[in-house]
């Protein structure tokens, strides 16, 4: 839903050792896709472990508005009775995707090749984000879009009545764009081909295969060439959503910087297109191990064990890894503040168009808390002060961005003075149990208003 109601001011303070088990919620990317593909299958898809954060609940509401029967069975179990590819009906009202770029972009793709007209909106953060990256490729199918200046929401999409298949090279590393084109390709006749130069999260491809679509990925000199055969009958699935590596990042990073910590984060999805942060942390000298590695529902999974790491070193993060950790740079920058030396992050222009401009949001909050940060259009450098030397003591702004809010709260747990966040309400979009979960581990985190 648009807006997040009253802002929730929060603060965190130097915490005792963090210990115990952190059961983080289900994967946000996989949760959106399970609901959308469930709605496009014929028959009943069962989902367990769904993330019940605001972003995903907005997608559930949207799927109902398109005619699917979506039922909350309790404790993360959901049933989706789909209407089939091309079976979406025209919603009566506006589709409000709240804070969720993934939700709105994937749903635009899914409806773009059906003869229906849909108006989308979101909260103040989402309504600032670029949508032309979606509507440009959708136009190739015959879809029309009318939005605000600069291709912003609110925006009306007129689905193509007689869609044609497309061949499209994604110009930026974006799984949302790739996925929107693939979902649109589902209801186009013939083969839709998407080429991505840099590999991004591949949950859509894996799940489409699971639902019975004909889809292949070929590694070529051009990049990954993904070919989807349109107008399949998708078969309903039983989907167990793994726990979210992007949420696991918060208790893991907190444990690395809070003295004496030892935290187990079980059942984390470690799809290689998502696990870049953990590789990076290990390169920095983190005491982080994978235990009980296994495969669940077509995704690699392990239990993560993170312990206090007093000898973290700044590194140059491999830019080739950026897409596999794109949501984790904010919290990485917090860990970098406690490392010795500079952590250099390049090839990250996409960070400027997330729920907030994440380079700007983190750089200003870190600087206010005594950490030197340099930045350019697509790079930034955090000059680490080493363990025990981060001053803290300042208020920060979350800019309606859940990951910025959580990152600064992690900073406060190990800084020398408390760190405030003006509005922690967006945390509910992706990690609604963040506060009790962190408090249970021993974090000092409070609501201040």
Provide the annotated active-site residues.
Answer: 327
Binding mask 9-38 for ligand S3P (x = CB under 6 A): --------------------x---------
* 102 or 127: CB nearest ligand S3P: 102
247 near ligand S3P (CB under 6 A): no
174 near ligand S3P (CB under 6 A): yes
> Of 444, 389, 387, nearest to 413 (Cα)?
444
The residues pairing with 359 across neighbouring beta strands, listed in sequence order, are: none
Report the alpha-carbon distance of residue 127 to residue 101 in Å, rounded: 9
Query: CB under 8 Å to 75, separation ≥6 — which residues?
Result: none
* 176 or 333: CB nearest ligand S3P: 176
280 near ligand S3P (CB under 6 A): no
Q: Give residue for tokens 């088990």.
A: 21
102 near ligand S3P (CB under 6 A): yes
The least CB distance from residue 114 to ligand S3P, in Å, is 21
* 29 or 356: CB nearest ligand S3P: 29
Q: Give residue for tokens 């635009």.
A: 108
The least CB distance from residue 105 to ligand S3P, in Å, is 7
Site for ligand S3P in 325-344 (CB under 6 A): 326-327
CA angle 57, 62, 63 (to 5 degrees): 100
The least CB distance from residue 277 to ligand S3P, in Å, is 13
Binding residue for ligand S3P, selected from 52, 328, 350, 435, defined by CB under 6 A: 350
Report the alpha-carbon distance of residue 330 to residue 326 in Å, rounded: 9
Query: CB under 8 Å to 64, separation ≥6 — which residues?
Result: 70
Q: Specify the 3-state DSSP secondary structure of 245.
A: helix
Cα 130 to chain centroid distance, Å, stands at 16
DSSP string, 197-220: SS----HHHHHHHHTT--EEEEEE
Query: CB under 8 Å to 115, separation ≥6 — which residues?
Result: 159, 160, 161
Q: Give residue for tokens 């982080």.
A: 288
**With CB under 6 A as the contact rule, which of the stretches 44-52, 113-121, 174-182, 230-238 interacts with ligand S3P?**
174-182
* 350 or 435: CB nearest ligand S3P: 350
176 near ligand S3P (CB under 6 A): yes
Report the alpha-carbon distance of residue 275 to residue 203 in Å, rounded: 13
Binding residue for ligand S3P, selected from 175, 302, 322, 437, defined by CB under 6 A: 175
Site for ligand S3P in 178-237 (CB under 6 A): 179, 201
* 56 or 257: CB nearest ligand S3P: 56
Site for ligand S3P in 131-170 (CB under 6 A): none
Cis peptide upstream of residue 30 (ω within 30 degrees of 0): no
The least CB distance from residue 98 to ligand S3P, in Å, is 14
Report the alpha-carbon distance of residue 430 to residue 402 in Å, rounded: 7
**With CB under 6 A as the contact rule, which of the stretches 175-183, 275-283, 297-305, 393-401 interacts with ligand S3P?**
175-183
* 258 or 268: CB nearest ligand S3P: 268
> Of 122, 135, 177, 117, nearest to 3 (Cα)?
122
Chain residues in the site for ligand S3P (CB under 6 A):
29, 102, 174-176, 179, 201, 326-327, 350
């Amino acid at each position: 839903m648009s807006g997040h109601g009253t802002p929730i001011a929060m603060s965190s303070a130097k915490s005792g050792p963090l210990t115990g088990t952190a059961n983080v919620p289900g994967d946000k990317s996989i949760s959106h896709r399970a609901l959308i593909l469930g709605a496009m299958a014929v028959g009943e898809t069962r989902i367990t472990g769904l993330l019940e954060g605001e972003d995903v609940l907005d997608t559930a509401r949207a799927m109902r508005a398109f005619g699917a029967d979506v039922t909350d069975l309790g404790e993360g179990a959901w049933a989706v009775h789909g209407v089939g590819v091309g079976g979406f009906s025209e919603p009566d009202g506006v589709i409000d995707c709240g804070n969720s770029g993934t939700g709105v972009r994937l749903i635009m793709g899914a409806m773009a090749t059906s003869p229906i007209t849909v108006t989308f909106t979101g909260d103040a953060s989402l309504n600032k984000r670029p949508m032309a990256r979606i509507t440009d490729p959708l136009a190739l199918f015959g879809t029309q879009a009318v939005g605000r200046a600069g291709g912003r929401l609110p925006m009306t999409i007129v689905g193509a009545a007689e869609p044609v298949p497309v061949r499209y090279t994604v110009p930026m590393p974006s799984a949302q764009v790739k996925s929107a084109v693939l979902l649109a390709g589902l209801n186009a006749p013939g083969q839709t081909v998407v080429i991505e130069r840099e590999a991004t999260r591949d949950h859509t491809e894996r799940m489409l295969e699971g639902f019975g679509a004909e889809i292949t990925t070929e590694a070529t000199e051009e990049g990954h060439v993904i070919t989807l055969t349109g107008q399949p009958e998708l078969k309903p699935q039983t989907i167990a959503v793994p726990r979210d590596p992007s949420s696991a990042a918060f208790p893991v990073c907190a444990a690395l910087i809070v003295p004496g910590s030892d935290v187990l984060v079980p059942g984390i999805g470690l799809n290689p297109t998502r696990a870049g942060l953990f590789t990076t942390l290990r390169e920095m000298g983190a005491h982080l191990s994978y235990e009980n590695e296994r495969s669940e529902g077509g995704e690699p999974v392990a239990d993560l064990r993170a312990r206090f790491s007093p000898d973290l070193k700044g590194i140059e993060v491999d830019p080739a890894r950026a897409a596999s950790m794109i949501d984790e740079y904010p919290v990485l920058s917090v860990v970098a503040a406690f490392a010795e030396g500079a952590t250099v992050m390049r090839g990250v222009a996409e960070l400027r168009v997330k729920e907030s401009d994440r380079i700007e949001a983190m750089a200003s909050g870190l600087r206010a808390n005594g950490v030197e940060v340099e930045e350019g259009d697509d790079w930034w450098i955090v000059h680490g002060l080493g363990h025990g030397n981060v001053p803290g003591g300042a208020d920060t702004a979350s800019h309606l961005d859940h990951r910025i809010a959580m990152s600064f709260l992690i900073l406060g747990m190990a800084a020398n003075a408390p760190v405030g966040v003006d509005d922690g309400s967006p945390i509910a979009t992706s990690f609604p149990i963040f506060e009790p979960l962190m408090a249970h581990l021993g974090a000092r985190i409070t609501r201040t208003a």
